[in-house]
Structure 1
Amino acid sequence: MRASLHFAGQTLVEYQARQAVRAGADRILIMVSVITPALSQAVDRLSADGIAVALIRDMVTMVRDAPRDSDVLLIADGAIIAQDHVDSLGAIEGDVLLVSDDSRASAPFERIDAGQRWAGIARLSPTLLFGTLDMIGDWDLALTLVRAAVQKGARRITVPQDDLLEGRVAMVESQEQADLVAQAVTSAGAAKGARQRGGIEHLLLAPLARMIGPALMRMQVPAMQVRIAAMALGGIALVPIELLWTLTGFALMLFALMLAETADRLDELALRTPPTGWLAFMVPLTVLVALILAGGTTEAADLVLVLGILMIADRWRLTGHAKSWMIVTPGSILLLLILAGVAGWLDEGFRIAMLAVIGSVGAIILRQRS
């Protein structure tokens, strides 16, 4: 079943559902002929993320559950469409079809007339939807709705041929095809949708994560596994710090932060929201512990307290209009102390770090809007 193909760290139907939600859908209906364990697990995962989803097996259920006061997005089984196109249909009211000009690249899509094919997604009004459901009988739901939209003269948005050739709009039949398309989709999305962070996390670690994320996504490495690896490495890094191999421990901590950023990037590529609760702070909190162990002074403890506040503000986007370079983060302090330690000025490095976090707090306060 194409819906159960693996794509972007989840099943394809999960990815399609998350695309629709990101474009503005408030609930998901999945038409199925057979409820498989993979589909049931997909529904459970979507529900766990707060997405209202239901499986539809017959027209009676469809007529009962489909919304009568809002448009619907119809996504074809096996269709992979770049999020930009999904968002564009989500912003246009009325009957709209995403289409492609007839060519060799568009051959997998359903022909709708002599010159164009349906590109796998449409926006339909309740009038068209229920008018078609009343007479659909045993016909194919998706294609019948598309043909009804064509006959009604629905607006058409044409996909550029480059999107077809580069795999940003595709219809997949096998896992091999899904893997190939995933390379195009994840590469195209590698620089999009990322959260703005502060400090070294934004200037150094996030770019590295954007480079590593797509490769891990194509290898089907789950974000949670990378996050667990980051937490484990952060805990291991405390050992050399206890043994007074401070710079080694700091370097391992910096690598752990990079892994945590990569896990966030994998979530973003899979259209999931990166965590903002305790799970998001596990690795940075380990860094704060390391700073207390390495500093061993009240000045180090004060540094950790202020840095912890900045860390929360950065993660929760409470830094106002401060520029990224103005926000001091755990990664920024680690890099500063590593450089100071290499120069033999580790104690002075803690003093400079305290001045840096004070300046960062001042920048955030002074750049707030009145």
Structure 2
Amino acid sequence: MMLAGLIFATEEADDKPGALAATLPFGGMTLIEYQARLLIACGAGHLMIAVARVTPALLGAVNRIAKRGVAIDIVRSAEEASAKAHPLAAVIVLADGLVTTEAAVRLAAGSAPDTLIVSEDAGSQIAVERVDAGHVWAGIAAIAAQRLADTAALPREYDFQSTLLRVAVQAGAHQVQLPTSARRAGHGVERNSSTLASRSNAVLAALATRRTSWADRFVFTPITRLALPLLVSRGIPPWSVVATGGVVAVGAVAMILLDWTIAGVVGAVAAVATLSTGSLLGWLRGDDRLARRQEAAIAIVSALAAIALGAMTARAEMTLTALVLAIALVVTGAIGERARARPAFWWGSPAGYLLLLAVATIAGYPAIGLAIVASYAAATLAAAVEALREKA
């Protein structure tokens, strides 16, 4: 099914006369860029921006969105939107000034056309407009392209967003409840710049919980949740985080090879934490390629640290056992990472293996740590193979 996005950007900011709410800062970019980022991540290949007027800030945001390789059109009416939209497309609508999460947008993207995301909480920022006696529209909808044509056929003296909602309701649109996770992440309409900044931090914190492994949940996600808002508020570019992580990683491996093993493995963990934060920062800024490269770098840093630790331990013990265990860990872990099955909470990951190695090294038992972690990687690989067999 072809997906398109329709973002409304007509309302002014409450505390900045002349500025559109859609162009207020959010997460190191503008709100409309963040909304476009969510739609693109959910598979939208065409974006339409519904405007009443075009400001320099809006034009700049649209130009930056276009650099992400998606077709984008500015439309001023339902007639223009109907003419630009593919007749067979499902259109994901985002309300003016809406702050939400990728999970909420994916819910609409995965629904049949003419589906409204709704809530029963009429007295909060979630409520955009009342749908019926018991529900309010939560600002996200999936509509058939025909609804744009239906709206265009009505008299011009109407509010585009509101009328489109009414047309969808009259067409018998299904209603789906807004996910609780979106509520916790600060879902709602906001047109005040200072309040939007606090909402930005809530969404950034939710973004940091996307990873599900135990190492990320208990160690790297808390670090990222603290660091990401600080990086965004200071406008730190993603490449600088990559550079920092790379320098720390090289230094860490060098320290291990110089037989400063404890300092080296701790430095490797710090490098992984930096790259983990940088990966999410890249995702937020719309640079998926950079984000994926940093995820790959985490695996490379963990593997190099393990091999270096195995080599130095083998040298100290005058036996190849530790080096063989390190190689087995890297090979088994790499094959396990190739598994396509959805990982379970307990499964190992490059970051998790490195954490366990760091604990064993600090405790003074690097060889035993390599043996345990190699066995853990083998168990993870076995579980991944079984999961793939069940799926087949």
Query: TM-score band (shorter)?
Result: 0.7 to 0.9
Question: Per-residue deviation at 1:244?
Answer: 2.7
Counterparts of residues 88-107 of structure 1 (less than 5 Å) = 88-100=107-119, 103-106=122-125
2:75 equivalent to 1:54: no
Percentage of matched positions with identical amino acids: 23
Q: Contact conserved, 1:98 with 1:158, CA < 8 A, in 2?
A: yes
- The answer to whether 1:204 aligns with 2:226 is no
* CA distance, structure 2, for counterparts of residue 322 and residue 114 of structure 1: 42
- Work out the CA distance in 1 between the residues paired with 2:29 and 2:63: 11
Determine helix, strand or coil for the equivalent of 1:173. coil
* Equivalent residue letter for 1:36: P
In 2, the alpha carbon distance for the partners of 1:101 and 1:350 equals: 52
In the superposition, relative to structure 1, how do residues 179 and 301 fare at CA in structure 2: closer, same or farther (>3 Å)?
same
Deviation per residue, 1:238-276 (Å, 9 max, x gap): 343354322111111122222323334555677875867
The question of whether the paired residues in 1 share the 8 Å contact of 2:30 and 2:61 is answered with: no
Aligned AA for 2:249? G
1:120 is paired with a residue whose SS is: strand
Q: Counterpart of 2:360?
A: 339
Asked if structure 2 preserves the Cα contact closer than 8 Å seen for 1:2 and 1:174, the reply is yes
Q: In the alignment, does 2:38 pair up with 1:19? A: yes
1:54: how far off? 0.3
Q: Are 2:77 and 1:66 aligned?
A: no
Alignment gaps of 5+ in structure 2: 1-19
Q: CA deviation at 1:172?
A: 0.9
Partner of 2:243 in structure 1?
Answer: 228
Q: 1:240 to 1:162 in 2, by over 3 A?
A: closer
Report the secondary structure of 1:72's partner residue: strand
CA contact (8 A) 1:306 1:357 kept: no
Cα RMSD between the aligned structures? Answer: 4.2
| CA shift in 2, pair 1:353/1:188, >3 Å | closer
Q: Which moved more, 1:7-16 or 1:249-258?
A: 7-16
Worse-matched range after superposition: 68-77 or 222-231: 222-231
Q: Which among 56, 61, 84 is matched to residue 36 of structure 1? A: 56
Is structure 2 residue 144 aligned with structure 1 residue 125? yes
Deviations 1:45-79 (CA, angstroms, capped at 9, x unpaired)? 5643x5x2303144565333212113312212201
For 1:99 and 1:324, the matched residues in 2 are separated by: 31
**TM-score of the aligned structures, taking structure 1 as reference length:** 0.74
Q: Note closer, same or farther for the CA distance 1:42–1:251 as it changes in structure 2 (3 Å cut).
A: farther
Q: What SS class does the counterpart of residue 124 from structure 2 fall into?
A: coil
Q: Residue 176 in 1 paired to residue 194 in 2? A: yes
Q: 1:319 to 1:106 in 2, by over 3 A?
A: closer
Match runs of 1:222-261 below 5 Å = 224=238, 225-261=240-276
Q: Please give the TM-score of this superposition, normalised by the length of structure 2.
A: 0.71
1:218 is the counterpart of 2:238: no
CA apart distance, 1:349: 4.1
Paired with 2:343 and 2:171, the residues of 1 have a C-alpha distance of 51
Please state how far the C-alpha of 1:171 moved relative to its aligned partner: 1.1
- Looking at structure 2, the residues matched to 354 and 64 of structure 1 have their Cα atoms a distance apart, in angstroms, of 59
* Distance of aligned partners of 1:61 and 1:302 in 2 relative to their CA distance in 1, 3 Å threshold: farther
Partner SS state of residue 86, structure 2? coil
Q: 1:274 to 1:261 in 2, by over 3 A?
A: farther
Question: Aligned with 2:111: secondary structure?
Answer: coil
Q: Indicate how the Cα distance of structure 1 residues 209 and 135 shifts in structure 2: closer, same or farther if over 3 A, else same.
A: same
The answer as to whether partners of 1:179 and 1:218 remain within 8 angstroms in 2 is no
Measure how far apart 1:360 and its partner are: 5.0
2:17 equivalent in structure 1: none
Q: For residues 360 and 89 of structure 1, what CA distance do their matches in structure 2 show?
A: 37
Shift of 1:214: 3.1
For 1:209, the aligned partner's letter is F
1:141-199 deviation digits (Å, cap 9, x = unpaired): 222312333455544456599977x67331111221212223444445654x42x5xxx
Within the candidate set 308, 331, 335, 1:309 is matched to 331
Q: Which shows bigger deviation, 85-94 or 111-120?
A: 111-120
